[in-house]
Chain A
Amino acid sequence: MMRIAAGIMAAVLTVAAHADAPKFKIERGEACVAPTAEMRRDHMKMLLHQRDRTMRLGLREPRFSLKNCVDCHASRETGSVLGKDGFCSSCHEYAAVSVDCFECHTPLQQKRAAAKP
């Protein structure tokens, strides 16, 4: 009985969470580098791993590079992954997890970053 109640509670909570979950557009490409569920759960691990490989070993593999994330996911209007409906910021604000990447890295697509002084 308890188990069923817990199941119902979990289902209700999931639905409730989905109702006001952030909605974002995925701007470019058919598929990400990994399935959506995996990306949602593990994107930070991929970025952390890639970060050290690039910085320390000089491996500039495009697959998990932050630059490539931004290039696909930046908004068409602003060219950025931050801002009100930005791909990164909308979810991170909802989850109340600060995203430090863009203290140093540009949140703009390469084209726009190159154009900006």
Chain B
Amino acid sequence: MNPDRRQFLGWGAAAAAALAPGFRLIELAQARSPQEAASKLQRWGLLIDITKCSDCDACVTACHEENGVTSLGRPATDAQWIRKVSLRDKRTGYAQTLPLMCQHCEHPPCVDVCPTGASFKRDDGIVLVDKHTCIGCRYCVMACPYGARSFVHEAVSGQKADVPRGKGTVESCTLCVHRVDRGETPACVAACNKDGGKAMAFGDLNDPSSDIHRRLRSEPSSQIRADLALNTGVRYQGL
């Protein structure tokens, strides 16, 4: 190694050491500007405290209102982005209820099986369906262990400007990606905090200063089907 090169490396080490702790060369942005792409520095997620979740369905109503998901009165084929699941311990009779939606896995099976690449994970951890390339094969519907995906069986009208929906494609919870990109929380979380039991929290799982990160660090929480090692972005407490 010639001395110049050694000296240069030495300066680099000194510069790295000079960075104060807590100072980041790349700052974790909170609300992105429209010119800024979704970043791997962030991972959006939810923390749902089931002990505070009661019999209401404010989250379901708000989600379907926000995303223009309307019922055609045919429960077998109606799209469902989020649903309330009731659990009951057969021995003790202890009953619980929880909202279940796309868990925004780090290793999503729906993405693995998609033959066209329509099912994909955005850099900030949100799992989405690109309906432009979705061919409606429904492999992802079968692959998802949470039953989170729905197929649109019938022609749709009255879509929201931010949420395109159409016949022949698969859809699921988008974590209200259009709201998140504006710096807002998903509709279910907003509704739960307004009309419900304040059971749902939204935040960046990667940001150590975020409330959700602090709670996950200091309180017990669990993933549904943690045995599948999908590392879900939606975590539950009190399950």
- A43, CB-defined interface residue at 8 Å: no
State which of B132, B158, B159, B162 has its C-beta within 8 Å of the C-beta of A55. Answer: B132
Measured in the bound complex, the distance between the Cα atoms of B66 and A113 in whole Å is 12
Residues on A with beta carbons closer than 8 Å to the beta carbon of B162: 67
Main SS at interface, chain B? loop
Asked if A103 meets B132 with Cβ closer than 8 Å, knowing A59-B35, A113-B159, A114-B161, the reply is no
Residues A58 and B165 in contact, CB atoms below 8 Å apart: no
Which of B124, B156, B162 has the most C-beta atoms of chain A within 10 angstroms of its own C-beta? B162
How many of B's residues come within 8 Å of A, CB to CB?
29
Which residues A99-117 have CB closer than 8 A to chain B? Answer: 103-106, 108-110, 113-114, 116-117
Contact B38 A106, beta carbon cutoff 8 Å = no
**Residue pair A55, B130 in contact (C-beta under 8 Å):** yes
Asked if B215 is at the interface of the complex by the 8 Å CB criterion, the answer is: no
B89 interfacial by beta-carbon distance below 8 Å: no
Which residue from chain B places its CB closest to the CB of A111 in the assembled complex?
Answer: B161
For residue A58, give the distance in angstroms from its CB to the closest CB of chain B. Answer: 3
Q: A61 at the A/B interface (Cβ < 8 Å)?
A: yes
Contact B34 A106 (CB under 8 A): no
- Rounded to whole Å, the gap between the CB of B180 and the closest CB of chain A is 9
Return the contact of B32 from the options A58, A62, A70, A113 (Cβ within 8 A). A58
Q: State how many residues of chain A have any CB contact under 8 Å with chain B.
A: 23
B165 to chain A: which residues have CB within 8 Å? 104
B145 on the A face (CB < 8 A) = no
Q: Residues of B at under 8 Å CB distance from A?
A: 32, 34-38, 70, 120, 122-124, 128, 130-132, 155-156, 158-162, 164-167, 169, 177, 181
Which residues of A are in contact with B by a Cβ distance under 8 Å? 51-52, 55-62, 67, 70, 103-106, 108-110, 113-114, 116-117
27 contacts between A and B (CB under 8 A): A55-B128, A55-B130, A55-B132, A56-B120, A56-B122, A58-B38, A58-B122, A58-B177, A58-B181, A59-B36, A59-B37, A60-B34, A60-B181, A62-B34, A70-B161, A103-B155, A103-B166, A104-B166, A105-B159, A105-B161, A105-B164, A108-B161, A110-B161, A113-B158, A113-B159, A113-B161, A114-B161
